[in-house]
Every structure is written in structure tokens, then in C-alpha cells.
Amino acid sequence: MANYGHFDDAHREYVITRPDTPLPWLNYFGQDEFFGMATQTAGGYTFWKDAKLRRLTRYRYNNNPMDNDGRFLYVKQGKSVWNPGWKPTRTKLDAFECRHGLGYSRITGKKDGIEVEQLMFVPPGENLEVWKISVRNKTKKTQKLSLFSYVEFCSFEALNDMTNYQRTYSIGEVEIEGSAIYHKTEYRERRNHYTLFGCTRKIDGYDTSRDAFVGVHHGLHDPKAVMTGKCTNSRAYGWNPVGAQQINLTLKPGQEETFAIVLAYVEQGDLPKFDSPMVMNKTKGREILAKYSDLKVVEAAFDAVKARWESLLSIYQAPKVPNEHLQRMVNTWNQVQCMATFNLSRSASGYETGIGRGMGYRDSNQDILGFVHLLPARARQRILDIASTQLSDGTCFHQYQPLTKKGNADIGGGFNDDPLWLILSTCAYIRETGDLTILNEPCGYADKPGSKDTLLHHIETSIQYTLNNRGPHALPLIGHADWNDCLNLNCHSKEPNESFQTAGDIAGSKAESVMIAGLFLYATRDLVKLYNFMGQAQDASRIQAHYDDMLKTVEEQAWDGAWYTRAFDAQSNPVGSKSCEEGKIYIESQAWCVLGGAGQNNGRAKKALQAVDKYLYTPEHGCALQYPPYSTYHSELGEVSSYPPGYKENAGVFSHNNTWIHIGWTMFGEGEKALEYYLSICPSAKKDHDKYRSEPYVYAQMTASQFSPTPGEGKNSWLTGTGAWSFVVASQSILGVQPDYTGLRIDPCIPKKWKGFSVSRKFRGVTYSIEVTNPKSKSKGVKSLVVDGQKIAGNIIPLSTDGRTAVKVEVTLGA
Ligand code: GLC
Ligand code: GLC
């Protein structure tokens, strides 16, 4: 088995030691408004806020070689031409290392005694990316070499940029001033922003025309200017503007030269646009470059990136977990993934092109579950933004664009699980913060401009929406789909050019979803607790009655004998039932019925989990989505049957839904099973990277299942709901530290052989140092809870009211 790298837990880094990983292994920079994506070979791109509308550098997806655009440095020394990140030249290096850290990547390449280090990051609060570059002569002789930088500019609107060449080939404009290249395409007309690509050191040449630097018949592996050793000082007029700078260096033995390159998005604001006709006012660009010309500022900015992450991560740390994989995921990488999914939803990754998908309604609500502890104020704003895209009858736009915060009309609504997720995110926010005022925030409905209805109104509307839209079994109507985007029971599509999601008429639809029923149980139970906490007993019992009613319906209509039926199609035939030829059992209805509290008193919940274990689970890969996979296309089921067996929603291992089963096991005190299942999809625990292929530090959306020809192959890493839910599993269900309205609830579910662990949790302004011991080798049940020396009844650490900011908690399991 090839070894591509390892975790450096002390530095919270993943260290890639060979550049030729099975797939590009990606990292993200930035967590405010400016984002960069970089692979271990410096591939990737940069954008401001919205990867579709404000993309700064180009990236050709699905390219071959894969991942061939990025932020490249070339070294030319004598005849030899190489990149410290190996690509694009792929010249063999004497040493290579890429350290993907939190919000930065540090690539170091060495050849013939010359070492080049490229440290890339986005300083907090800034709309720019810094590359700190160090060139070192590790030989005993003086060395002469030329270094070239290279990026290709994107004309901001990425779709147009990659499709509309009859226009884009004529609009490109740049200006050059000293060591700075200004990409100002469309600035003369409606844009009031530009891209700065500046070097903080004197340069010895530049190019801004791709044809001049790379050459029409050359490639990035042998750019003309680098091969000849000389930039041509070209100015781009149309075609493809690029940024390339040449730096000639003479380095004495042991000498090091360090400087920075800055890639910035600059908004001109109220400043005059031009100094003179066709000459841009560059005041802001000059200021940025001057600022970062001081290496101390660069260092301080990098320290700020690290300090910010340390401070965020200090909110939840579990330093002594007996399992190394769970420990590093929960302490570091899982939280990093939660940040990425919160910021980017499903828009820009190695698989999401940044063009097709905005923020998802259901996705963003779920992302909050794993993010809210990090930056609750941002979660609060997000919840209100999301709610504002709901219509007054409860329908939700399935997606919205982050820049405009408006729902995407082309996809529309009618994904009938969408409204309910808002309740989960809102309750999670209030449990974390105690801030009930969010419920009274006016966040009107998308179809009632200017309306001032409150968030609580949205929540009630969401409940009502499910109640109003029910089918023949009194179960919720599914609409275009529920959580499973590919269970399209109303589309009946026979036309290959239409989308399964939007095809088909859902007016008058009869198809019903048991998954939504389970989610409704979960959401209403959450809401009952909230109303009780608010002292609104009448509202609590009103909602409780809906819960009871739906529970009765689920138990009467949806039990299939050994598991819960998944759905009823438009003809009211069961889906995910023993009576089906294929797709007899699905994971989502087991998960949500159990999580919603069905099957608790009649043994069904346990049976449902056992059925998952029997039909869907393998310890190597996790749980497939259903069994058996569909071998043929069923128009009455939609996209779910369109994938080849064992991939995606057709019985692939869809990591996201696995996490709900993990929670299910912890509800039953099955600590061994919970951990075993957790590890089955945990990227850090994957051993054979040639088989798994995806990044070892973040979850992938999907792993090809036991039913596929390529079991164990991970795909679509980073932007998946698995991020948030896995953090919930590890931090709240297994380690059992659960924010609640009245305090921190402690309810771990661990393998019996664990002797204990500790968690440090900042909650409502207090740091709780929690030591859990397990003297009797139990999985679940708190026997005693001692808070600052005082024994407390029950398992909730009450909120401290006496101003203490550090509290010691001793928990003994074994009740
Ligand atoms: C993707 C979608 C998500 C959906 C899931 C299952 O992850 O982003 O909304 O729930 O697929 O279809
Ligand atoms: C979700 C699903 C994917 C499907 C897509 C359609 O992302 O995961 O399988 O193709 O939705 O928009």
C-alpha cells in the first residue's frame, strides 16, 4: 500500500509527502468573504463571496491532467525547469512536502540544492490571499536562478468566462505598475472592482498575455517564457489575461530570500474610478501592496490565521480520547470541515464547480448543527437569511445565491422536507446560546416583500406545511423529493434532457415520505421542549398533539414487519418494503423514525437498527443507502434508480445518512456499535489510500459500496452534510457533551472498555473541564456528576450564575 502522508496532530496539519496522490487532496483558505482552494500541488482557485459571480482565477474542472490550474511557481536553473509543488512540469524533485493546515497550505519543494517554500493563506478579515515565498540555497556554491509566478485570471462571472469566448476573447484588460499586475476586465463599464496580483519585491519582468507567457501550442508544463528564461513584458488586450512575474536571484551558499505575492479582490468604493482616461485609480491596490511589503505584517497575518483557529477550536476539545481517529476528527478536522460547509454550502470544491449550486435550504440548516458552537452570531444571521427565502405557505426555495440571498427560481421549491430543517437549526442555536430573541426577529416571507413575520412564525408555518400536505396514509407528501434528492416519486421522467428534480408535476401528488414523517417527529419534539422552556405550556401541548398523531400514523402505516417502509409512490405502492423486488430496505426511514422516537415502546426501533446492520452495513465501508440496489431504471422512483448499482443514492454508502444511524445506536447504549460504525466511514481510519483515493482528513459525500464494482472508493469530499452530523455524533452522542436549554447535558455512549476521557467545552461564557471516568466498564448512564466539588442530581450541569468562568466537572459512568 502506497503511503502518501500522515497526520501531524500537534500542529493540526496533514503532511503530504508525495505529490502524486490518488486524487488531488484539497484544502481551503479563508472563512469570512474571501476564499481560496488549494491542492497539494498548488492547484485550485480563488473567489470573493460567490464562486460563480466573483471568481478571481480560472480553474478548468475535469481537466486532464486533473487539477492543472492554480498558483504556480516555476524555477529555472540552467536547463532545469521545475515547480516546488511538482506540477505542472512534473519534474522529479529531490524533496517534496505539502502541509495542509487550518486555513493555510505550505508547499516545499527541493531540487539540486535549491529549496522553494510557498506558504499560502487568507488573512482574517481581508479580501486577499498571501503567498509567502522563501527561496533557499542549500548548497556550498553561489547559485543563479529565475523564479516565475503564474495565475490565469477569470473575468469574474465564471460561467460566462468558460463558455462565451466570442465575447471574452475581446474584453480582457490589464494594467501594469512596478511589480503589480492589475486585472481590470469590465472595469470600464459596470464593475467597480478589480484583481491585484502584486509582488512585494522588485521584479525582472512580467507577462499578462497567456499566449506570450505560455504559448498557444505549449502547455503549463512547458511555458514558453519559462523555457527560454525570459518574460516578454506583454500586455494583454483581450484573449486570456494572466499574471506572471519573473524574479532573478543570485543566492550565496546558505542564503535565503523571502518575499510575498498578494492576490487581492479590490472594491473601488467611492474613490474616483480613473486617474485619466483608460488609467485606473490604483490607490487601494498600492496600499495593499505597501502593507504586505513588510514581512512582519505577513508573519503577523499568518499568526492571526493560526490564532483564530486555535481560539475557535478551544470551544470544544477532547484531548484524551482512547481512539486516535475520533480524537483528531472531533478536535480538528471535523470542525474545519464544518466551517467549510457552513461557508460554502455545496458550491465550490473539487467536485462542485462553484457555478451550479448556491446555498441549499436543507443543507445550510443542517450545516449549522456542526457549526453553531464556533460562531453563533454567524449561525444566527444565517438562520434568518435562510428563513427569509421561505414563502408564506411554508414552501421553501431549495437553493439561494449567497450574493443576492434570493431563492433560485429555476429549481424552485416543493422539496417537502426543507421547511422542517429550520426547526432543527433554530433549536440548536438556542440551546447553544440561550438567545430566545432570535424567535422574535422579523424575517418576512419571500412572497411578501416587506413583511415582518418573525422566525417563530416561520417555524409554525413549517409545521403547518407538513400537516397541510399529507397523502392517503396521512403521511407527509414528498413533493419533488425529501432529504434524498433522488427519490423523485412524482417525476415519471422518460426524457433524458430533463432534471429529475424539477420534472414532473407535484400538484395533486399523492406520493408520501416516511422519512419526512420521522423528521416531523424529531422537529416537533424539539419544538415541544423549546415551548416548555419558554414557559408556553399550551403551545407545547398543541405541538405535542401533532407529534402523537404523527407517531400513531407512522406506527400504523409505515411498519413493514422488520423495518420502516421508506415511502409510498404516486400510486400508493410501498417503496423500501419487503414486497419490493429491489430497494426493499432504505436507511433514511430507519434513521428518522428512530431519531424521532418511533418504535421505542414496541421494540421496532431496535429492530430497524438491526435490519440496517444486517442488510446495509459493512465494517470496511459503512452502510449502503438501500438494499438491494436497483438494477434497472424505474420512472416511478426517479433518479435513485438512475445510478449504476452501488453508487450515490442507488445503494452507495452515502456518509451523511450513516451518521443518523450512529446516533441511533447511542440512543440504545450500544457504545461498541456506535464507535465501530463511526470508524467505518471515518476518513482518518481509512488504510488503503489507493483504494479510498479521497482526502484522509475530511469526509467524502459517498463511498462506492459493497454492491458496486469498486467498493471503498471515496468521492465528493469536503462539501457534505456528513461534516456537521459527524461532529454531532462524535461530540454530542459518543462523547456526550450536549448543549441544552438549562445547561450542559452529559450523556456519553462509549465502548465499555474505555476507561474514560476528558472534554473541555466553552459554553455560554464558561469553560467546563469535564473528566469522565468509567470504572465499571459501562457504555452509558451517568452515575454521578460533581461540579466544582458539589454533587448534582441528574446529568445536566446547571448554568453557573455566580460569575465563575472555569468550572471543573467530574462524571462517573455506571448508573
Ligand atoms: C446531496 C445534497 C443534499 C441531499 C443529499 C442526498 O448531499 O446536497 O441536499 O440531501 O445529496 O440526496
Ligand atoms: C444531490 C444528489 C445527487 C443528485 C443531485 C441532483 O446532490 O446527491 O446525486 O444528482 O442532488 O441535483
Query: Is residue 357 within 6 Å of ligand 1 at its C-beta?
Result: no
Q: Where are the alpha helices (DSSP H) in 178-229?
A: 210-213, 224-228
Question: Three-state DSSP class for 701?
Answer: strand
- Residue 308 burial by CB count (10 A; 0-12/13-18/19+): exposed, middle or buried? middle
For residue 815, the model assigns a pLDDT of 77
Give CA separation, 491 vs 48, 571, 583, 643, in Å: 37, 13, 18, 16
- Give catalytic status of residue 485 as yes or no: yes
Q: What is the mean pLDDT of residues 489-504?
A: 94
Catalytic residue, chosen from 485, 526, 569, 747, is 485
Measured distance CA(209)–CA(237) in Å, rounded:
8
pLDDT band at 402 (very low <50, low <70, confident <90, very high): confident
Q: Which residues line ligand 2 (CB under 6 A)?
A: 485-486, 501, 639, 648-649
Atom of ligand 1 nearest to the CA of 721: 7
Phi then psi for residue 47, to 5 deg, are: -150, 165
Q: Are 548 and 536 in contact (CB under 8 A)?
A: no
Query: Is residue 363 within 6 Å of ligand 1 at its C-beta?
Result: yes
Q: Which ligand approaches the C-alpha of residue 360 most closely?
A: 1
* Ligand 2 center from residue 486 Cα (angstroms): 6
Which of 483, 513, 626, 658 for mutating ligand 1's site (highest number of atoms within 8 Å of CB)? 483
Atom of ligand 2 nearest to the CA of 643: 9
Question: Three-state DSSP class for 763?
Answer: strand
Nearest CA owner, ligand 2 atom 7: 485
Q: Pick from 314, 456, 285: which is nearest to 12 by CA? A: 314
Query: Is residue 484 within 6 Å of ligand 1 at its C-beta?
Result: yes
The reply to whether the predicted model has a pTM over 0.95 is yes
In which element (H, E) is residue 361 found?
helix 361-369
pLDDT one-digit tens code per residue, 340-394? 999 999 999 999 999 977 789 999 999 999 999 999 999 999 999 999 999 999 9
Phi then psi for residue 212, to 5 deg, are: -75, -45
The C-alpha cell that represents 304 in the structure block: 492571526
* Ligand 2 center from residue 500 Cα (angstroms): 9
The C-alpha cell that represents 631 in the structure block: 438494477
pLDDT one-digit tens code per residue, 118-133? 999 999 999 999 999 9
* Ligand 1 center from residue 377 Cα (angstroms): 26
For residue 753, the model assigns a pLDDT of 98
For residue 358, the model assigns a pLDDT of 79
pLDDT band at 407 (very low <50, low <70, confident <90, very high): confident
Question: Three-state DSSP class for 180?
Answer: strand
For residue 200, the model assigns a pLDDT of 98
* Ligand 2 center from residue 707 Cα (angstroms): 19
For residue 800, the model assigns a pLDDT of 82
* Ligand 1 center from residue 771 Cα (angstroms): 37
Radius of gyration of the chain (CA): 28
* Residue given cell 408564506 in the structure block: 392
Give CA separation, 652 vs 362, 627, 630, 710, in Å: 21, 10, 11, 11
pLDDT band at 409 (very low <50, low <70, confident <90, very high): confident
Measured distance CA(560)–CA(575) in Å, rounded:
10
Query: Is residue 352 within 6 Å of ligand 1 at its C-beta?
Result: no
- pLDDT mean across residues, the chain: 97
**Residue 177 pairs with which residues in a beta bridge?**
180
